[in-house]
């Protein structure tokens, strides 16, 4: 009995010390070796390799790219609206709002990359309201994927990364109706926010680079589709435009593709 007890105590002590050393090494590695405020893999070693992608909301089904709008079905209607409202909640109510700065009042030489710019949701125009959404028009929110330290190289006469949407075919483009864009550039310059931009939207360069700043808010572009054809399966493509962004629609590089069905 004493021998068995001694053996149990020996193995208990041995495995306790081994587990303690392993946990201690893991803690040391995670605390001292893994950076807390930036990813371990950056630049060309990161997953996106300095080529930002594009995401969209709403995205009600993670296994499908089809967005179905049923304005007459209350539950389905609010499911989509609530998804967008939940996403935009942190833009309205952020505990780090005091760390953000009003870049509209600054010039390029005043910009502090350690304090991110605030994004104003009144740039959304009619897409920021819950009333009539999905009845006479539908809205899609576009957002670029974050890449640590990435800076855009805008094309001529642009303030940042441009984005444009269209149908996959001429029929799809026709069925989409009129497309207008609402972004922070239009918010700074427009007198009537309800009008919108026709040619393209823009992710302003003042929101870059992303460096894990506290309270960072991604720039958004709200795309409004007026008079979308009902009961039509419409394929949509949106893509980014900048000198240092590669676009491959087939591989969803620098772009996004989805389908819209209004019932």
Q: Residue 178 falls within a domain, yes or no?
A: yes
Helix or strand (DSSP H, E) at 182? strand 178-182
Residue 9 lies in a domain: yes
Please check whether residues 164 and 83 belong to one and the same domain. Answer: yes
Give the chain's domain count: 2
In contact, 237 and 257? CB cutoff 8 Å: yes
Tell me if 101 is assigned to some domain. Answer: yes
39 has pLDDT over 70: no
Looking at the fold, whether 15 and 59 belong to one and the same domain comes out as no
* Helix H or strand E encompassing 234: strand 234-241
Structural tokens at position 164 = 């444009």
- pLDDT reported for residue 171: 95
Percent of the chain at pLDDT > 70 equals 78
Domain that holds residue 6: 1-34
Confidence of residue 109 (pLDDT cuts 50, 70, 90): very low
Q: How high is the pLDDT of residue 142?
A: 96
- What is the average per-residue pLDDT within 74-83? 79
User: Is residue 40 in a domain?
Assistant: no
Residue 195 lies in a domain: yes
Exposure letters 173-211 (e unless 16+ CB within 10 A, then b): bebbeebbbbbbbbbeeeeeeeebbeebbbbbbbbbebe
Asked whether residue 32 carries a pLDDT value surpassing 80, the answer given is no
pLDDT confidence of residue 169: 95
224-253 core/surface letters (b: 16 or more CB in 10 A; e: else) = bbeebeeeeebbbbbbbbbeebebeeeebb
Instruction: State whether 16 and 88 are in the same domain.
Output: no
- Asked whether residue 30 falls in the same domain as residue 156, the answer is no
Provide the CB-side half-sphere exposure for 200 (13 A, CA).
17
Distances (CA, A) of 186 to 44, 91, 121: 33, 18, 12
Q: What is the rounded end-to-end Cα distance, in angstroms, of the chain?
A: 78
Task: Identify which has the larger pLDDT, 74 or 222.
Answer: 222
- Whether residue 19 sits in one domain with residue 83: no
Check residue 90 and give its pLDDT: 83
Which residues does residue 255 pair with via DSSP β-bridges, in sequence order? 239
Task: Tell whether 106 and 196 lie within a shared domain.
Answer: yes
Same domain, 65 and 8: no
Does residue 204 lie in a domain region? Answer: yes
Same domain, 92 and 157: yes
CATH number of the domain enclosing 146: 2.60.40.1660
Q: What 3-state class would DSSP assign to 238?
A: strand
Residues 101 and 28 placed together within one structural domain of the fold: no
**Predicted confidence (pLDDT) at residue 160 exceeds the cutoff of 50:** yes
Q: Is residue 39 part of a domain?
A: no
Same domain as 91, residue 183 = yes
Residues 55 and 159 in one domain: yes
**Pair (75, 153) in one structural domain:** yes
Q: Is residue 41 in a domain?
A: no
In this structure, of 114-118, 127-131, 205-209, the range with the lowest mean pLDDT score is: 127-131
């Amino acid at each position: 009995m004493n021998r068995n007890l001694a053996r149990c105590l020996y193995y208990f002590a041995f495995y306790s010390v081994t587990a303690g050393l392993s946990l201690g090494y893991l803690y040391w590695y995670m605390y001292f070796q893994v950076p807390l405020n930036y990813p371990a893999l950056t630049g060309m070693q990161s997953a996106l390799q300095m080529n930002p992608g594009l995401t969209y909301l709403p995205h009600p089904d993670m296994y499908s790219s089809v967005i179905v709008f049923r304005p007459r079905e209350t539950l389905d209607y609010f499911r989509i609206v609530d998804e967008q409202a939940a996403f935009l909640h942190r833009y309205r109510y952020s505990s780090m709002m005091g760390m953000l700065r009003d870049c509209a009042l600054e010039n390029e030489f005043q910009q502090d990359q350690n304090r991110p710019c605030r994004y104003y949701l009144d740039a959304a125009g009619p897409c920021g309201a819950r009333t009539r959404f999905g009845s006479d028009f539908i809205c899609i929110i576009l957002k670029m994927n974050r890449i640590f330290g990435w800076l855009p190289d805008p094309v001529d006469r642009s303030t940042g990364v441009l984005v444009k949407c269209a149908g996959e075919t001429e029929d799809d483009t026709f069925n989409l109706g009129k497309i207008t864009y609402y972004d922070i550039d239009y918010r700074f310059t427009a007198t009537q926010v309800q009008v919108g931009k026709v040619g393209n939207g823009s992710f302003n360069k003042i929101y870059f680079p992303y460096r894990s700043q506290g309270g960072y808010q991604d720039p958004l572009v709200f795309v409004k589709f007026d008079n979308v054809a009902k009961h039509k399966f419409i394929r949509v493509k949106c893509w980014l435009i900048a000198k240092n962004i590669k676009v491959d629609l087939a591989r969803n590089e620098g772009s996004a593709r989805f389908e819209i069905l209004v019932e």
